[in-house]
């Protein structure tokens, strides 16, 4: 029987560097997604128009729906199992977990692919469009590759703390989306865009598996864990799966229900555009939260809670510093931002976009904290927050969407996020103290207020829409200067950030005392 190896106390500085390094890769992935994938999405919306993009959204959501059902909670348990066994230095059991769940993903996604293909006609009848059924049948062929990427390789990278691999597959995905745009531009339209997804995820999954193999190279033969450990993982997987299935009632179902009851399929486009834009602004916080997951498991496995609290406060601060100015600038410039990116025909996305920015900001504060239940194996309790969100989501979707359409969908999603977060924090507070760095957060708030005033004045005097990107960049530069003036970031933190980005030589060119 393999015994976990006890190692020395975790170095906070080393762990902070590891989390920060992985956060940088996650943030670079976010930047790639923002500047490449987001740009592609903008052009895709422009090429397809409100009606076709509504059908595109519906089809993609059913595809994601099927993938979630096929996932069986595997993505969460892979992430947790790898983190746990790495913390215990139990490499042979880690190998068993990777190989076991790889086979499980293949089998479950094959079954889901067949079911999705069989139900395509029924789904098409809901939206009174035979084309919807045809497009879903196309996507059913690529479901296995999509599931491998989302349910296996991505959570494996998080567990291994190899976010550089996640960055590689993410940038590859963005690059391939450029080719997808070319396909549409050449006249293949909506059908061409959907067909290309099968090819896209085949390539992405192949590269992801290769990178994962490299991460595991040299490990011993897999050794099956003991019965007690298996029972724990099965329970974790079951609760994760129930959570994933329940979450479908307030994720894609909101958009799918909106498409079924709204007088125009364009309402789905408005809601979806607002959701995508808000989601992009939340990516820095998501990157930090993902990078923190494995560290939480490590600290709790070794019962080193002081280090956990120190790192938690630091990550909350950085998550808020990155997200708050982006959210504020987007709210102030929302009408012009949507017109600039999507044309005036998508101005209906303005209200949903602003509403959906609220949970993005709140999640930037508590994102690192909400990882605690999953990272410590308490999926049973994490499930309670998801159930709460589902109940709220179903109720408000039925009430608000038929009346307010895209705005009602955004309000329902906001209520779901807030209720889910509230229950999660109540449960987390039973295991840890939720410590916020209030002083640093107040300084950041002051900096954002001044930045907001500065941006508002710029938008008042500069009317031309073409100058909007320059105005937003100027506002963010002003925000960084305010952080320096208010001393929100210490000299030690600035040096750490500069070193992290390998920018030492560049800084010395302008500041020789560095």
Is the pLDDT reported for residue 223 higher than 70? no
Is the pLDDT reported for residue 347 higher than 50? yes
Q: How far apart are CA 273 and CA 409, in angstroms?
A: 12
Determine the pLDDT at residue 47: 65
Q: State the average pLDDT for the chain.
A: 75
**How does DSSP classify residue 150?**
I
Determine the pLDDT at residue 1: 38
| pLDDT-wise least confident of 77-91, 207-221, 241-255, 392-406 | 241-255
How many angstroms from the chain centroid is the CA of residue 279?
7
Express as a percent the part of the chain with pLDDT over 90.
1
- Coil, helix or strand for 503? coil
**What integer is the mean pLDDT of 284-304?**
71
pTM exceeds cut of 0.85: no
CB 296 within 8 A of CB 308: yes
Token reading at 191: 């059908």
CB 227 within 8 A of CB 95: no
Is the pLDDT reported for residue 483 higher than 50? yes
Token reading at 24: 């940088």
Band (pLDDT 50/70/90 cuts) for residue 240 is low
How many angstroms from the chain centroid is the CA of residue 268?
21
Summarised one tens digit per residue, pLDDT across range 297-312 is: 777 777 777 777 777 7
Crossing angle of helices 406-428/350-370, nearest 10°?
A: 10
Summarised one tens digit per residue, pLDDT across range 311-338 is: 777 778 888 888 888 888 888 888 888 8
- Coil, helix or strand for 158? helix
**What integer is the mean pLDDT of 425-443?**
81
Is the pLDDT reported for residue 292 higher than 50? yes
Instruction: List the domain boundaries for the chain.
Output: 12-436, 447-514
Q: Phi first, then psi: what are they for 239, rounded to 5°?
A: -65, -40
Is the pLDDT reported for residue 459 higher than 50? yes
């Amino acid at each position: 029987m393999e015994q976990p190896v006890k190692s020395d106390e975790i170095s906070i500085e080393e762990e902070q560097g590891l989390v920060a390094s992985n956060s940088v890769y996650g943030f670079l992935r976010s930047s790639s997604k923002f500047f490449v994938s987001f740009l592609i999405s903008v052009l895709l919306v422009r090429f397809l128009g409100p009606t076709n993009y509504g059908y595109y959204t519906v089809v993609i959501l059913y595809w994601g729906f099927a993938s979630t059902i096929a996932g069986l909670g595997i993505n969460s348990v892979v992430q947790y199992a790898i983190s746990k066994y790495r913390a215990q230095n139990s490499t042979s059991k880690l190998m068993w977990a990777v190989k076991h769940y790889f086979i499980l993903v293949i089998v479950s996604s094959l079954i889901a692919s067949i079911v999705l293909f069989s139900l395509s006609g029924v789904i098409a009848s809901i939206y009174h469009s035979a084309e919807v059924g045809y497009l879903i049948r196309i996507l059913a062929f690529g479901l296995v590759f999509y599931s491998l990427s989302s349910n296996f390789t991505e959570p494996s990278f998080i567990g291994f703390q190899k976010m550089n691999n996640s960055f590689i597959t993410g940038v590859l995905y963005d690059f391939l989306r450029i080719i997808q745009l070319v396909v549409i531009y050449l006249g293949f339209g909506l059908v061409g865009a959907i067909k290309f997804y099968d090819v896209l995820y085949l390539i992405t999954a192949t590269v992801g598996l290769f990178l994962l193999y490299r991460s595991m190279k040299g490990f011993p033969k897999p050794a099956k864990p003991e019965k007690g450990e298996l029972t724990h993982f099965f329970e974790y997987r079951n609760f994760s799966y129930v959570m994933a299935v329940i979450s479908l009632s307030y994720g894609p179902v909101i958009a799918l229900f909106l498409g079924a009851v709204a007088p125009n399929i364009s309402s789905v486009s408005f809601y979806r555009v607002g959701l995508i834009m808000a989601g992009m602004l939340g990516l820095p916080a998501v990157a930090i939260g993902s990078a923190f997951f494995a560290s939480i498991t490590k600290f709790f496995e070794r019962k080193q809670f002081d280090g956990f609290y120190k790192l938690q406060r630091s990550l909350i601060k950085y998550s808020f510093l990155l997200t708050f100015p982006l959210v504020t600038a987007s709210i102030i410039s929302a009408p012009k931002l949507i017109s600039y990116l999507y044309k005036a025909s998508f101005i209906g996305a303005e209200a949903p976009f602003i509403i959906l920015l609220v949970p993005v900001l709140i999640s930037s504060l508590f994102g690192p904290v909400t990882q605690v239940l999953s990272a410590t194996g308490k999926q049973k309790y994490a499930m309670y927050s998801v159930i709460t969100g589902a109940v709220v989501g179903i109720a408000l979707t039925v009430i608000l969407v038929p009346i307010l359409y895209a705005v009602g969908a955004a309000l329902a999603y906001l209520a779901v996020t807030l209720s889910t977060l509230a229950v999660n924090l109540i449960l987390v507070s039973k295991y840890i103290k939720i410590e916020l760095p209030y002083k640093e957060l107040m300084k950041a708030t002051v900096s954002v207020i001044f930045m907001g005033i500065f941006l508002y004045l710029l938008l008042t005097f500069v009317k031309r829409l073409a100058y909007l990107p320059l105005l937003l960049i100027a506002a963010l530069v002003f925000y960084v200067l305010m952080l320096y003036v208010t001393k929100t970031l210490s000299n030690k933190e600035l040096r750490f950030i500069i070193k992290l980005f390998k920018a030492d030589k560049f800084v010395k060119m302008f500041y020789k005392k560095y």
